[in-house]
Amino acid sequence: MRSSEAAGLAPGSTIGIIGGGQLGRMLALAAAQLGYRCHIFDPHEAPCAAEVAAIFTRGSFDDSGAIAAFAAACDVVTFEFENLPAAPLEALGHKMRPAVRSLTVTQDRAVEKRFLDEAGVRIAPWAAVDDREALDAAIERLGLPLLLKTRRFGYDGKGQAWVRAPEEAAAAWAAIGQRPAVAEKGMDFSAEYSVIVARTADGHCSAWPVSRNIHEGGILRRSEIPPGAPIDAQVSQAVEIAALLAERLGHVGVMTVEYFACADGPVVNEIAPRVHNSGHWTIEGAATSQFEQHVRAICGLPLRDTRLVGQAVVMDNLIGDDVGQWDALVADPNARVHFYNKGEARPGRKMGHVTRVR
Ligand code: AMP
């Protein structure tokens, strides 16, 4: 590294980002403001992060040689996407922030749930389902309804199927491709929210104000800050849990914990070991964005203030065709608009977002 660990990485240093989607794009923009150069590693031809970064390497996530050469050209390496093969990253050692453990624990729902159980936090009752018989046993033990989720490679509600009656079990097992899965008891909750924290290598942790998250078809539609009742009453406990989980993972950088607001308190749904869609509002709505804070944490700079800068913030995702309203959105004086320039506006694809601070 170019400067001492205590002083942090000097401007002009290079941050490697594995994954070239919109999260990588917004990380690269924040890093550029602090004088860092970003090097994107992604298998696609023209990922949307590459056009705002200094360097782009096209390579496969499982190509150890390509990952090693990429990392050798960077001062620190991070990721914006958790479904990465861990083996090529093990060799990066301390250059990797967060460390590989944050990935390996959170990229497999069964491993993640064992980690959460060991940490003593509340999650939906669950069972590992490796075959059709195990699904029947899970139905017997957990009751119905339950939600079957593939252990790996699920996102935005993909790889999930509800089982509401015993006769739906076969169809649900087929719908998730008969892959190793977990079955979760269907939870009764009144709202969903997320806590985003940043943690430094020396253990300082800070959280942003909490957002209420509204999903549609498994995809985040809107985040609202402050979250209001009944979430407000659970916030301090949820923030404590998120800080504890970051500590137990030894996580360095930004980490997100998603919750269900149940009548008797917070229930953890899942952990994302990275910046998160429900934190996009922090770019204009907080004193420091999640992207800048992640860059600070991984580069060894001090964390900054995370307070809300207005009374309230609403962030709306632009999904698929929504982006067609771009001309009205850029003309709206209250809208802070972000387009990711991802090309084709396929249904369900996150094309941009709009933040309104009041
Ligand atoms: P996930 O991919 O785990 O975040 O799940 C996507 C969405 O499915 C969540 O945001 C919830 O709305 C819903 N969901 C997930 N798990 C459960 C559960 N155990 N009970 C009820 N709804 C759930």
What pLDDT was estimated at residue 12?
Answer: 98
Ligand 1, atom 1, residue with closest C-alpha: 157
How many whole angstroms separate alpha carbon 24 and alpha carbon 17?
7
* Ligand 1 centroid from CA 139, angstroms: 17
Q: SS3 of 180, please?
A: coil
The phi and psi torsions of 325 (rounded to 5 degrees) equal -85, 20
Closest CA to 210 of 182, 229, 190: 229
Ligand 1 shell residues, CB under 6 Å: 124, 147, 154, 157, 184, 186-187, 192, 215, 218, 258, 269-270
In the reported structure, the alpha carbon of residue 73 is separated from the centroid of ligand 1 by a whole-number distance in angstroms of 39
* pTM score, whole prediction: 0.96
Which residue's CA is the closest to the ligand 1 atom numbered 5?
Answer: 157
Which of 242, 172, 167, 180 minimizes the C-alpha distance to 208?
Answer: 242
User: What's the pLDDT at 174?
Assistant: 96
Distance 269 CA to ligand 1 centre (A): 7
Pocket test for ligand 1, best of 106, 113, 146, 147 (most atoms within 8 A of CB): 147
Residue nearest to atom 19 of ligand 1 (CA): 186
pLDDT tens figures, 310-356: 999 999 999 999 999 999 999 999 999 999 999 999 999 999 999 99
Tell me if 78 sits within 8 A of 294, measured CB to CB. yes
**Separation of CA 291 and ligand 1 centre (Å):** 25
pLDDT of residue 157: 72
Q: How far apart are CA 110 and CA 182, in angstroms?
A: 6
For residues 33 and 36, what is the distance between their CA atoms, to the nearest angstrom?
7
The pLDDT, as a whole number, for residue 6 is 58
Mean pLDDT calculated for residue range 180-191: 98
Mutation pick for ligand 1 pocket among 269, 271, 276, 278 (CB with most ligand atoms within 8 Å): 269
Distances (CA, A) of 264 to 57, 234, 245: 48, 9, 20
pLDDT of residue 291: 99
Distance 304 CA to ligand 1 centre (A): 32
Q: Is 18 helix (H, G, I), strand (E, B) or coil?
A: strand
Tell how far the Cα of 143 is from the centroid of ligand 1, in angstroms. Answer: 17
Taking residues 14-19, what's their average pLDDT? 98
Q: Measure 239 CA to ligand 1 centroid, in angstroms.
A: 20
d(CA 127, CA 150): 12
Atom number in ligand 1 closest to CA 156: 2
